[in-house]
């Protein structure tokens, strides 16, 4: 899409976030989930990555994911709007007669060669899920009852082990690399948005919270903490946006390398930045009513989502030709 179109789409996502973001865990309930997801569906964004060539570049999708992560939203932008449509595009399948999301292992990692146990991730509004095994087989499975999750705003549902499953296609080796790289990038981008937003909020809090008759932001120790957190977020921004650029401009092998490096950096730096922001907020951030722990939960879980650092670093250490 051209720049004007992208700005319009980004502003629509930003407006959605302003209207439907939750401000405490008590607001996360079925009625608010349904209303927010309906509003997202009305934006008609599922076509962003459904056509070939796609209407939106990987860089644009990463920026939308980053924008989505800046507020605690119960909407399934990543699962049903960005990831599942990308799989259907790579398969050359236009429609399945359902609203799919993606299926992961119960630990929320990429499935291996078998998919005995699965959960449907980021599945608000979805009735099926697509599982991609390590050999490139894509299977459609049914979505079951809710499953527990650390991230309170994101829907996760179980997949009945004896439920119907249908193989709908196979990804080529190159498409398999593209799929993994794309998934890592959009997940990393959303975590960058979440970490950056909480750090910005903690900076604002440091300006107005007073101790000993002075704003805590005037204390050098707090300034250093926030400066370090800001640098960490900027490092995440740079490496993630470069990985998104590689998806649009580099071969699949190079794009996957960049995506793995981005996710490894975000796993560590975004989580450290969020921990710093929590320290600035102090005790209020530890309460159920405050919004900070919703960000912490998202980034804490996101640091192991799809691939943890312990999964990524060995792959990055291998010669590129053998990955």
Which pair of structure tokens corresponds to residue 3?
A: 């720049």
Predicted pLDDT at 274: 98
Which pair of structure tokens corresponds to residue 94?
A: 């236009």
* Alpha carbon distance 94, 108 (integer Å): 26
**Domain range summary for the chain, segments of one domain joined by +:** 3-171, 175-322
* Alpha carbon distance 177, 104 (integer Å): 17
Give the DSSP H/E element, type plus range, for residue 128: strand 128-132
**SS3 (DSSP) at 256:** helix
Helix H segments across the chain?
A: 3-20, 30-42, 58-69, 77, 84-91, 173-208, 220-249, 252-281, 292-302, 309-317
Which pair of structure tokens corresponds to residue 230?
A: 């800001």
Predicted pLDDT at 323: 53
Please state whether beta strands 156-158 and 119-121 pair in parallel, antiparallel, or not at all (unpaired). Answer: antiparallel
**pLDDT in single tens digits along all 323 residues of the chain:** 788 999 999 999 999 999 999 999 999 999 999 999 999 999 999 999 888 889 999 999 999 999 999 999 999 999 999 999 999 999 998 766 789 999 999 999 999 887 689 999 999 999 999 999 999 999 999 999 999 999 999 999 999 988 889 999 999 999 999 999 999 999 999 999 999 999 999 999 999 999 999 999 999 999 999 999 999 999 999 999 999 999 999 999 999 999 999 999 999 999 999 999 999 999 999 999 999 999 999 999 999 999 999 999 999 998 765 55
CB 186 within 8 A of CB 263: no
Which pair of structure tokens corresponds to residue 235?
A: 């490092």
DSSP state of 124: T
DSSP state of 320: G
Pick the CATH number of 175-322 from 3.30.70.330, 1.10.1200.10, 1.20.120.450, 1.20.140.10: 1.20.140.10
User: 123 burial class (0-12, 13-18, 19+ CB within 10 angstroms)?
Assistant: buried
DSSP assignments along 23-57, one per residue: SSGGG-SHHHHHHHHHHHHHTTGGGGGTSSS-SS-
* Alpha carbon distance 25, 49 (integer Å): 32
DSSP state of 138: E
CB 120 within 8 A of CB 159: yes
């Amino acid at each position: 899409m051209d720049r004007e179109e992208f700005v319009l789409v980004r502003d629509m996502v930003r407006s959605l976030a302003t209207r439907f973001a939750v401000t405490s865990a008590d607001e996360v309930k079925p009625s608010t989930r349904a209303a927010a997801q309906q509003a997202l569906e009305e934006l008609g964004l599922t076509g962003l990555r459904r056509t070939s060539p796609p209407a939106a570049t990987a860089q644009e999708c990463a920026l939308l994911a980053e924008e989505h992560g800046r507020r605690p939203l119960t909407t399934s932008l990543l699962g049903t709007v960005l990831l599942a449509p990308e799989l259907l595009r790579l398969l050359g399948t236009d429609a399945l007669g359902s609203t799919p999301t993606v299926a992961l292992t119960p630990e929320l990692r990429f499935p291996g060669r078998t998919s005995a146990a699965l959960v449907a991730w980021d599945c608000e509004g979805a009735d099926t899920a697509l599982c991609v095994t390590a050999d490139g087989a894509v299977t459609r499975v049914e979505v079951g009852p809710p499953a527990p999750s650390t991230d309170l705003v994101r829907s996760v549902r179980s997949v009945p082990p004896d439920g119907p499953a249908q193989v709908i296609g196979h990804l080529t080796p190159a498409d398999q690399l593209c799929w993994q790289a794309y998934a890592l990038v959009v997940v990393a981008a959303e975590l960058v948005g979440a970490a950056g937003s909480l750090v910005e909020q903690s900076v604002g809090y440091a300006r107005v919270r007073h101790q000993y008759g002075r704003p805590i932001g005037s204390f050098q120790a707090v300034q250093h903490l926030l400066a370090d957190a800001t640098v960490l977020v900027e490092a995440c921004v740079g490496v993630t946006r470069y990985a998104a650029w590689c998806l649009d401009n580099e071969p699949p092998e190079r794009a996957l390398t960049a995506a793995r490096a981005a996710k490894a950096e975000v796993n560590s730096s975004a989580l450290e930045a969020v921990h710093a922001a929590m320290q600035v907020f102090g005790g209020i951030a530890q309460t159920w009513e405050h919004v900070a722990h919703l960000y912490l939960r998202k980034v804490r879980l996101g640091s192991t989502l799809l691939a943890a650092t312990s999964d990524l670093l060995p792959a990055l250490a291998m010669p590129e030709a053998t990955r």
